[in-house]
């Protein structure tokens, strides 16, 4: 069997900060409705759509998550439920499942804006990139549209309701019901709202579709389909390189009704890949005579994808495996409100790990995330739903599936199809519909919608009920069978399914807490401790999952396994397995990085396999174990070197070499019998010739002495949105990190910046993110400093009661 899926690209809607702007011509404008929003929570009074007295309402900027400021409360969305995905058969009380943050309830947002009188007679569109949830939209007191799915993008034609040259009042009602999610969904207008004005004879919204059906080093055939609102206009398309220089130009010659179809040749194209994320731009210009009516820019990349039985996945003709992670949509201490700086930081951390792919879990991704994946070089598995017609939670998406699923999928594809990063669609995750004939029919129905809207990419489903999908035919009908865990069933599924390949659509679900180590060091499932933490020796997982090494074996040894998406790249709010029934515990332990974005030890285990450009040598645990003198304290090294020697206070504890005796011996170097004594622990790595090539040390630290600040960027943009993420840690008088201190720190920002949030990565902390104080967790935390819209300098000062304080200067500019 061979399936070939050449590439598609995305209609770029340029992102701006200002409230009024021109996109590319005087005919089309796009405004981000960012400022001037009024917000009121806890009211379902429909008269708010018409009663414009909002003086008592809170002023906010959008994107906005009303719930992230808390407080945490175990009574919020407390659920008595049996989590079937976790193998539970009896309901029990779950207190932190949705993050214990106050996302439940109804709220109103209101904004007043004007458009020039000269726009009378133009078409005006409101686009919502995401609104949580069930938004009802009113303009000047009249309901103009609604949408149910909080993760989807939708737009409303408000041409007949807009008042040109006058003030217009936009009101949005949102309703988040309890028991509507399995994780923290956030609340509010958490993605951008766009006001688009264009000529009535124009290019349709999301009306450009670009594919490259023929790709080689010598040339590429670029096919551009453009839907117009009317016939009779002339369409000219220019293709620009990544420096804005003209590559080719073409005037459309063939129209099918209101749709133009162009085929343009690019000689010696630069191909898009994670290693070389080259982007072209298509500029579509619509004329009536010599008058320019509309202009749309579309960024795209030239690349081909194929999925072949036995061979697996190929990008641009080269076989490769997905080195991917799953990501929920929250941004830790920022909640779900989209922020490009936070998204970019996440992706850069993953890039250094060697990650090359993202799975949006379990919902439709933001446009900003996809843009960044295009630019930085990440392949993307775009997912749709966590529920179909059968429920996982009482008020989940199943309520809307029958009437909304098709239009939700259509909007996903049309809004994002031109992103080169997207290489596969997922129509669902662990849906209960995996059982029985009705579920098979739903899987087929959804897959055919994707094929109709986008014939160039395959469709998968994250399946956890593998035996059931083998029996029913569910797995056999999918383009790509995706297995969530169930490594022990890989061989059986491969033989049963006809596609000749499997995808690890969700793998590992290993749990750990950054800087926390438990003894004895043994593999364990569903292990819990009195402090509600998990061991960072990376040998603990869930009843239904496994440790990373089990997946590594399948990925390395089986060519028909086409890659994996690890659960998860970063910790996220909610779903605190294995402490679902424990309080306080309000966020996950699955991440390779904690909720603050600080890498855990497990990050370096994956880096030692995935990052083939840079060496990795990481030593664990820390070496501050007062009271464990003389006790067995195993030492691990995660490295891409094959052997290393361990020294404690200058004495060799032997050389360890990787072997295939066990999965752990194959991927980790382990000294299991080390007896703790204070001092210096050092590991020296050797190359294949036996030459010492790298070393790493851990030193027993003395009394905590001073604070150290390390910003990810010292210069940020003065747009009121950009953020510098400053890691605060503590060292002793000799500069040695103090990994066990939990002292409270206080923060102050002066100048042209402001304190935005703080996070320490502790899943049990009930301290609020928006307060300028927090305790360290395992010796670290991260402070978020946000710019204002004025250029200048800012100073972050950090103090601790018994510590020498620290400060760092940051600047912002245009």
Q: What is the DSSP string of 610-643?
A: H--SS--EEEES-S--TT-TTSB--EEEEESSSE
Rounded to an integer, what distance in angstroms lies between the CA atom of residue 582 and that of residue 593?
22
**Assigned token pair, 142:** 């009249």
- Decide: 501 and 562 in contact? Cβ < 8 Å: yes
- Decide: 422 and 380 in contact? Cβ < 8 Å: yes
Which one of the listed residues 134, 295, 506, 540 is annotated catalytic?
506
Smallest Cα–Cα separation from 305: which of 6, 9, 1, 10? Answer: 6
* Per-residue CA distances from 812 to 61, 348, 794, 806 (Å): 20, 21, 8, 20
Rounded to an integer, what distance in angstroms lies between the CA atom of residue 126 and that of residue 157?
7
Rounded to an integer, what distance in angstroms lies between the CA atom of residue 125 and that of residue 123?
7
Q: What stretches of 138-273 show up as alpha helix (H) in DSSP?
A: none
Smallest Cα–Cα separation from 298: which of 16, 6, 14, 7? Answer: 14
Strands 123-128 and 715-717 turn out to be unpaired
> What DSSP state is assigned to residue 587?
B
Rounded to an integer, what distance in angstroms lies between the CA atom of residue 666 and that of residue 664?
5
Smallest Cα–Cα separation from 537: which of 632, 657, 652? Answer: 632
The CA-to-CA distance between both ends of the chain, in Å, stands at: 53
Rounded to an integer, what distance in angstroms lies between the CA atom of residue 788 and that of residue 719?
6
683 φ, ψ (degrees, to nearest 5): -115, 135
Active site residue 748: no
Rounded to an integer, what distance in angstroms lies between the CA atom of residue 450 and that of residue 457?
8
Which one of the listed residues 134, 383, 387, 430 is annotated catalytic?
430
Residue 8 has a CB neighbour count (10 Å cut-off) of: 26
Rounded to an integer, what distance in angstroms lies between the CA atom of residue 529 and that of residue 763?
13
- Decide: 82 and 89 in contact? Cβ < 8 Å: yes
Active site residue 645: no
Q: Which residues are annotated as catalytic?
A: 430, 506
């Amino acid at each position: 069997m061979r399936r070939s899926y050449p590439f598609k690209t995305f209609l770029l809607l340029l992102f701006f900060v200002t409230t009024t702007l021109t996109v590319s011509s005087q005919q089309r404008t796009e405004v981000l409705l960012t400022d001037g929003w009024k917000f009121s929570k806890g009211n379902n009074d429909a008269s708010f759509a018409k009663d414009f007295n909002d003086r008592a309402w809170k002023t906010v900027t959008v994107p906005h998550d009303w719930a992230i400021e808390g407080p945490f409360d175990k009574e919020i969305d407390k659920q008595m439920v049996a989590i079937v995905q976790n193998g539970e058969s009896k309901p029990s009380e779950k207190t932190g499942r949705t993050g214990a943050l106050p996302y439940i309830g109804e709220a109103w947002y209101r904004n007043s804006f004007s458009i020039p009188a000269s726009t009378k007679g133009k078409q005006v569109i409101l686009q919502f990139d995401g609104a949580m949830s069930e938004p009802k939209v009113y303009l000047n007191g009249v309901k103009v549209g609604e949408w149910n799915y909080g993760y989807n993008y939708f737009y409303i034609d408000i041409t007949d309701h807009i008042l040109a040259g006058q003030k217009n009042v936009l009101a949005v009602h949102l309703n988040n019901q309890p028991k509507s999610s399995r994780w923290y969904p956030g609340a509010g207008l958490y993605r951008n709202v766009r006001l688009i004005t264009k000529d009535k004879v124009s290019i349709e919204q999301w009306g450009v579709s670009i594919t490259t059906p023929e790709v080689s080093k010598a040339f590429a055939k670029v096919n551009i389909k453009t839907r117009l609102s009317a016939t009779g206009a002339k369409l000219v398309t220019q293709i620009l390189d990544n420096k804005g220089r003209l590559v080719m130009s073409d005037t459309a010659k063939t129209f099918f009704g209101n749709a133009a179809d162009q085929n343009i040749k690019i000689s010696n194209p630069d191909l898009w890949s994670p290693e070389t994320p080259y982007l072209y731009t298509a500029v579509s210009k619509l004329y009536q005579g010599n008058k320019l009516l509309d202009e749309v820019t579309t960024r795209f990349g030239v690349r081909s994808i194929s999925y072949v039985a036995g061979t697996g996945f190929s990008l641009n003709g080269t076989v490769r495996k997905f080195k991917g992670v799953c990501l929920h949509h929250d941004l830790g201490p920022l909640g779900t409100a989209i922020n490009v700086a936070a998204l970019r930081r996440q992706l850069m951390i993953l890039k250094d790990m060697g990650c090359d792919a993202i799975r949006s879990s379990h919902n439709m991704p933001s446009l900003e995330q996809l843009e960044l994946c295009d630019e930085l070089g990440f392949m993307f598995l775009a997912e749709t739903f966590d529920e179909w017609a059968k429920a996982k939670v009482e008020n989940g998406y199943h309520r809307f599936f029958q009437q909304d699923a098709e239009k939700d999928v259509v909007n996903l594809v049309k809004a994002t199809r031109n992103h080169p990063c997207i290489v596969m669609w997922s129509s669902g995750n662990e849906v209960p519909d995996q059982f029985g004939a009705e579920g098979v029919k739903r899987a087929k129905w959804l897959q055919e919608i994707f094929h109709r809207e986008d014939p160039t990419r395959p469709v998968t489903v994250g399946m956890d009920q593998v035996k059931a999908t083998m029996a029913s035919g569910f797995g056999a009908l999918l383009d790509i069978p995706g297995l969530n865990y169930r490594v022990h069933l890989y061989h059986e599924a491969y033989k049963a399914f006809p596609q000749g390949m499997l995808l690890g659509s969700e793998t590992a679900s290993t749990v750990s807490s950054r800087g926390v180590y438990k003894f004895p060091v043994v593999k364990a499932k569903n292990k819990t401790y009195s402090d509600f933490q998990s061991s960072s020796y990376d040998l603990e997982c869930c009843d239904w999952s496994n440790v990373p090494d089990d997946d590594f074996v399948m990925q390395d040894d089986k060519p028909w396994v086409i890659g994996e998406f690890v659960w998860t790249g970063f910790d996220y709010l909610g779903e605190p397995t294995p402490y679902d029934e424990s309080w306080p515990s309000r966020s996950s332990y699955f991440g390779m990085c904690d909720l603050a974005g600080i890498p855990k030890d497990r990050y370096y285990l994956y880096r030692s396999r995935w990052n083939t450009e840079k060496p990795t040598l990481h030593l664990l645990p820390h070496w501050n174990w007062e009271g464990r003198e003389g006790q067995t304290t195993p030492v691990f090294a995660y490295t891409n070197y094959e052997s290393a020697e361990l020294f404690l206070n200058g004495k060799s504890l032997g050389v360890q070499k990787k072997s295939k005796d066990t999965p752990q011996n194959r991927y980790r170097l382990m000294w299991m019998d080390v007896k703790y004594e204070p001092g210096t622990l050092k590991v020296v790595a050797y190359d294949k010739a036996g030459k010492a090539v790298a070393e790493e040390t851990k030193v027993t630290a003395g009394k905590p002495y001073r604070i150290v600040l390390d910003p990810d960027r010292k210069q940020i943009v003065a747009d009121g949105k950009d953020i510098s993420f400053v890691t605060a840690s503590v060292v002793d008088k000799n500069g040695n990190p103090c990994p066990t201190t939990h002292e409270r720190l206080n923060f102050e920002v002066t100048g042209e910046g402001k304190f935005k949030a703080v996070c320490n990565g502790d899943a049990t902390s009930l301290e609020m993110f928006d307060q300028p104080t927090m305790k360290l967790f395992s010796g670290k935390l991260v402070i978020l400093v946000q710019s204002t819209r004025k250029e200048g300098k800012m100073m972050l000062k950090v103090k601790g009661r018994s510590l020498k304080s620290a400060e760092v200067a940051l600047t912002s500019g245009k």
